[in-house]
């Protein structure tokens, strides 16, 4: 599952760095999935979910 969260983080980070979005999140995600995505972002220097 970690890989799947990483793909979301990678795409959203591209949009964040391009200035197309200011924040991202997963309101319909479980807290475990949200935490996995943020762990991936932190480990890879990407924008975390807010």
| Predicted confidence (pLDDT) per residue in 9-49, tens digit | 999 999 999 999 998 877 888 999 889 999 999 999 999 99
* Contact between 40 and 11 (Cβ < 8 Å): no
> How far lies 44's CA from each of 21, 27, 28, 39, in Å?
19, 22, 24, 9
pLDDT of residue 2: 61
pLDDT of residue 3: 66
pLDDT of residue 1: 55
Q: What is the pTM of this model?
A: 0.82
Residue found under tokens 């890879």:
44
Q: Is 21 left (phi over 0), alpha (psi -120 to 50) or beta?
A: beta
């Amino acid at each position: 599952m970690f890989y799947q969260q990483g793909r979301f983080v990678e795409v959203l980070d591209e949009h964040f760095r391009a200035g197309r979005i200011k924040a991202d999140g997963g309101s319909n995600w479980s807290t475990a999935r949200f935490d996995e995505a943020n762990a991936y972002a932190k480990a890879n220097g990407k924008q975390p979910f807010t």
